[in-house]
A and B are shown apart, each in its own frame.
Chain A
């Protein structure tokens, strides 16, 4: 006797929601594969180094300029409000804490999501549609290790470094902005900053930058690796890599704030 088909719970969900959960499941499997494959040889050290150069060093000018402007603008805009309370002397400390804890990591990660996420998504996507990934496989190379693992490792290592460098440049921008109205030496400015900044401000922001980097690499490679429908799909992969990783950066940030607050680090 033929069994009568009964609609399962999943079939009752709207199509958009089903594909959302499918996407989440596929991405999780992709991340799990990364975590499984990273420990076993062959290790693609050369490719990790090359990617670190491409991702880290080549993003430095953009991250540097943006951070400098953010530090400068934040200081100039905060000054009138603090001046109302006669608290201009708190400016270095306030800007320092804002940049190191929140603005530095998030802005740098968002810039990198745009620059690196899209480039990873588009590069791997075009490799996929032009069969370069297949060619790699017939050449005795595990394309997942060579392409995916190396890029995720590179972004996970490079984004925290870019965040730290970006923070330093933003603070320098702030120092210049303070000097538009006052005369403060560089030593005094940084003394005032570090009076209010502690390691407990820096460590959580570096840790969350590691997750930002992982997320940018993961989403970029996942979207690129699963590109379909030719060149149109390449554009779509690049675009969705940026959108999803940017969204995930805010979600990770929200979770990180909750955790640091729970641990009493704020």
Chain B
């Protein structure tokens, strides 16, 4: 496992609070978020433990993506508490938030690769921008080993427009992993992919958890992916965490809302 402080010999300038004593990597309490009249999140409570994968299920527009964007500090929430590695997101300065984001990998629904950059530059971007003080050789080593992990080292000099949908997802995942994060947030990682590529991405997520020892929140509609990757499943409905349990527990539920996801 890579450790940037060891490589660079540098300490992160603004100290974040150390890992909280218990196993909670992410602790969300009574989270509220509205967009005008649209009250998307109405008191969401969620805990992510170390080494755990949580799959969040919910209808389109139920606020799943907003939930993980609140965790990454991309969306400012109205009220409640979002603690990531013991740090209350709302209270962090932008410099502290940047430091915290080194520990969070975000895999976007649309992959969000920078169109004007090659795959290499896409992966180098977070390494250079997070002020990790790595030299060119170290950066190249990290980029190549991460691309190797997702099986796309040969695509290093391609532009995003030259990649297939599955390849883009893999590169998106590689970019999230390049900083060796403790937490990975997946926003519908298999949406828009054919079943075979979907399975490949699901396996890649499982391998990622093993190799990088990450804890993840996975937003997904893909029940096959949810079954394989989840330690716990949370159902988001009407802006709250409606139900929570293992995949098998929820699959057996007679509740019509929960049951509708498993048909």
Residues of chain A having any CB pair with chain B under 8 Å? 126-127, 130-132, 134-142
Q: Which of B112, B114, B126 contacts A140 (CB 8 A)?
A: B126
Task: Report if B25 contacts A (CB, 8 A).
Answer: no
Q: What 3 A-B pairs come out closest when comparing CB atoms?
A: A135-B112, A139-B126, A140-B130
Give 1 or 0 for each of B184-196: 1 = CB within 8 Å of chain A CB: 0000000000000
Give 1 or 0 for each of B25-43: 1 = CB within 8 Å of chain A CB: 0000000000000000000
* Cα(A265)–Cα(B115), bound, Å: 47
A-B contact pairs, 7 of them (CB 8 A): A134-B69, A134-B106, A135-B112, A135-B175, A140-B102, A141-B129, A142-B94
Given known pairs A140-B131, A142-B94, the reply for A135 and B102 (CB within 8 Å) is no
CB pair A134–B129 under 8 Å, yes or no, is no
Given known pairs A140-B101, A140-B130, A140-B131, the reply for A135 and B94 (CB within 8 Å) is no
Interface residues of B in 67-101 (CB under 8 A from A): 69, 72, 74, 94, 98, 101
* Cα(A134)–Cα(B185), bound, Å: 13
Q: Which residues of B contact A140 (CB under 8 A)?
A: 98, 101-102, 126, 129-131
Smallest CB separation, A250 vs chain B (Å)? 32
Smallest CB separation, A147 vs chain B (Å)? 11
CB pair B112–A134 under 8 Å, yes or no, is yes
Extra 6 A-B pairs, beta carbons < 8 Å, given A135-B112, A139-B101, A140-B129: A131-B108, A132-B114, A136-B125, A140-B98, A140-B101, A141-B125
CB pair A138–B129 under 8 Å, yes or no, is no
CB pair A126–B115 under 8 Å, yes or no, is yes
Q: How many residues of B contact A (CB 8 A)?
A: 22
Q: Which residues of A contact B104 (CB under 8 A)?
A: 138
Smallest CB separation, A91 vs chain B (Å)? 46
Given known pairs A134-B69, A134-B74, the reply for A139 and B112 (CB within 8 Å) is no
Smallest CB separation, A130 vs chain B (Å)? 5
Task: Report if B207 contacts A (CB, 8 A).
Answer: no
CB pair B74–A139 under 8 Å, yes or no, is no
CB pair A138–B114 under 8 Å, yes or no, is no
CB pair B112–A131 under 8 Å, yes or no, is yes
Q: Which residues of B contact A138 (CB under 8 A)?
A: 72, 74, 101, 104, 106, 126
CB pair A131–B110 under 8 Å, yes or no, is yes
Task: Report if B109 contacts A (CB, 8 A).
Answer: yes
* Cα(A131)–Cα(B112), bound, Å: 5
* Cα(A206)–Cα(B114), bound, Å: 35
CB pair A135–B106 under 8 Å, yes or no, is yes
* Cα(A241)–Cα(B125), bound, Å: 29
CB pair B129–A131 under 8 Å, yes or no, is no
Residue of B nearest to A141 (CB): B129
Smallest CB separation, A162 vs chain B (Å)? 22
Residue of B nearest to A50 (CB): B116
| Residue among A134, A137, A140, A142 with most chain B CB within 10 A | A140
Residue of B nearest to A54 (CB): B116
* Cα(A137)–Cα(B74), bound, Å: 7
* Cα(A138)–Cα(B106), bound, Å: 7
Smallest CB separation, B96 vs chain A (Å)? 12
Q: Which residues of B contact A141 (CB under 8 A)?
A: 125, 129
Q: Which residues of A contact B98 (CB under 8 A)?
A: 140
Residue of B nearest to A129 (CB): B110
Q: Which residues of B contact A142 (CB under 8 A)?
A: 94
Interface residues of B in 102-143 (CB under 8 A from A): 102, 104, 106, 108-110, 112-115, 125-126, 129-131
* Cα(A132)–Cα(B115), bound, Å: 9
* Cα(A137)–Cα(B112), bound, Å: 12
CB pair A139–B108 under 8 Å, yes or no, is no
Smallest CB separation, B8 vs chain A (Å)? 15
Residue of A nearest to B105 (CB): A138
Q: Which residues of A contact B74 (CB under 8 A)?
A: 134, 137-138
CB pair B129–A139 under 8 Å, yes or no, is yes
CB pair A130–B112 under 8 Å, yes or no, is yes
CB pair A139–B130 under 8 Å, yes or no, is yes
